[in-house]
């Protein structure tokens, strides 16, 4: 499943295009963000025990500065598969620095993420959302509809 830097960048570009099409006001969030972590096509599979994996890139000023993967596991009543896109918008320099300086950053542990629900035409609003990290889970396909970031760990990878 490991991809080259070029393949990851192409997937990230496609995910950003989907983000603009599917999330109202997405451009405003990108504009105010100090950095954008884009994890396209994150795959989850489960049969009692579940696992999730994806590779993406951190963009600052529209350019890729680092590559990351996300890995998580879960246990409980679950069956099926899913593919989804995840975008984290770092709206402060401090939140971005803490993320970049971490050896493995876990959502909810190393930083709280304000998860914006997208779907049913909801609008993401930069004037009312003042959190340092705003997350979007969108373009979900499959039989599991897990739109959370619970347990998701992001780690820098070499490409």
Percent pLDDT > 90 in the chain is 41
Helices (DSSP H) in 23-106: which residue ranges?
A: 26-32, 93-101
For the CA atoms of 157, 13, 53, 90, the dihedral, rounded to the nearest 10 degrees, stands at 70
pLDDT of residue 140: 75
* Separation between Cα atoms, residue 142 and residue 90, nearest integer Å: 28
pTM for this model (two decimals)? 0.82
- Judge contact between 67 and 4, C-beta under 8 A: no
pLDDT in tens, 41-96: 998 887 777 778 999 999 999 999 999 999 877 667 667 787 889 999 999 999 99
- Judge contact between 103 and 61, C-beta under 8 A: no
First-to-last C-alpha distance (Å) of the chain: 13
Bridge-based pairing state of the strands 114-116 and 105-106: unpaired
For residue 120, what pLDDT band results from cuts at 50, 70 and 90? Answer: very low
Q: Which domain holds residue 54?
A: 5-157
Q: Is the pLDDT of residue 128 over 60?
A: no
Q: How many domains does the chain have?
A: 1
């Amino acid at each position: 499943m490991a991809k080259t830097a070029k393949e990851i960048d192409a997937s990230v570009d496609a995910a950003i295009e989907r983000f603009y099409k599917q999330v109202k006001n997405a451009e405003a969030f990108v504009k105010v963000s100090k950095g954008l972590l884009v994890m396209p096509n994150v795959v989850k599979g489960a049969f009692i025990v579940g696992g999730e994996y994806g590779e993406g890139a951190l963009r600052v000023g529209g350019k890729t500065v680092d590559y990351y993967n996300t890995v998580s596991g879960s246990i409980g009543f679950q069956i099926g598969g899913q593919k989804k896109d995840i975008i984290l918008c770092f709206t402060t320099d401090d939140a971005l620095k803490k993320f970049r300086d971490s050896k493995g950053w876990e959502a909810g542990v190393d930083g709280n993420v304000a998860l914006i629900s997208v779907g049913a035409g909801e609008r993401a609003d930069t004037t009312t959302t003042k959190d340092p990290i705003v997350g979007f889970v969108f373009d979900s396909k499959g039989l599991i509809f897990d739109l959370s970031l619970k347990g998701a760990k992001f780690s820098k990878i070499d490409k």
